Amino acid sequence: MACVDSSLWVKICGLTVPGQAVEIARQGASAIGFISAPKSPRYVTPLQIQAISEALLAAGYDQVERVGVFVDASLDDLQIVAMTGQLTTLQLHGQESPTYCQQLRQCLPHVKLIKAFRIRNDTDLAAIRPYEDVVDALLLDAYHPHLQGGTGETLDWRSLQTFRPAQPWILAGGINPDNIAEALQLTHPDGIDLSSGVELNPGNKCLQKTQQLFTRLQQLPALPAP
């Protein structure tokens, strides 16, 4: 992952349509995300993920990461989706333990691993530490009592001004083209993850909003190192 500048790692999540994924990759996305949690309104089947992945590869975007998002999936189910969908990265959004993450890494050693956390307070931030040695990146999302992500709610960005984990970290939760500059100025993440902030409705992205996001990122001055 890159530092906060024009090459910021940017993931657009919750894709359901191959054509939209290809266009968003063309616009400059570092990663395309697929929701593999059946309860989500953005859920896609393994075969749908496969179709989108194949469209990205056919269009020459093999360097764009293909990220499957899971919530407390079994190791067997996760491996099947990863192989069927040709995923390069797995993002865990449930209560997966550090031990589970280690087991997953043994099963799929060539796949990157991101662990997501829903943050309310400093206690939630402290709970991240045991994962720093077993995953490739950490993702911080806004807390919601019933939803695992895609809520459109933002974190308290000021509370993250001194957050410096051992691994790269990704900011999620309510980010959109209008607030991206403030979010990056306050938090200094290694990457960002957007879903509802660039949607017309769940799973249907607004290509005008995604283009607006990438245009604004290109216009931002390089931020000083924290």
Residue 10 three-state SS: strand
According to DSSP, the residues that pair with 61 across neighbouring strands are none
Please pick, among 13, 101, 190, 193, the residue that the annotation labels catalytic.
Answer: 13
Is residue 193 among the annotated active site residues? no
Is residue 206 among the annotated active site residues? no
Q: Which residues contact 73 (CB under 8 A, 6 or more apart)?
A: 36, 81, 94
18 compared with 151, residue with greater pLDDT: 18
Whether the Cβ atoms of residue 52 and residue 45 lie closer than 8 Å to each other: no
Quick one: DSSP state of residue 71? S
The pLDDT score that the predictor gives to residue 145 is 46
Q: What's the pLDDT tens digit per position in 114-168? A: 999 999 888 889 999 999 999 999 999 985 544 444 555 788 899 898 899 999 9
Separation CA 87–CA 110 (nearest Å): 10
The pLDDT score that the predictor gives to residue 224 is 53
Residue 25 three-state SS: helix
Q: Tell me the pTM.
A: 0.91
Q: Which domains does the chain have, with CATH numbers?
A: 9-219 (3.20.20.70)
Whether the Cβ atoms of residue 68 and residue 91 lie closer than 8 Å to each other: yes
pLDDT exceeding 70 applies to what percent of the chain? 91
Whether the Cβ atoms of residue 29 and residue 193 lie closer than 8 Å to each other: no
152 compared with 67, residue with greater pLDDT: 67
The pLDDT score that the predictor gives to residue 4 is 37
Please pick, among 101, 141, 190, 193, the residue that the annotation labels catalytic.
Answer: 141
Separation CA 220–CA 181 (nearest Å): 7
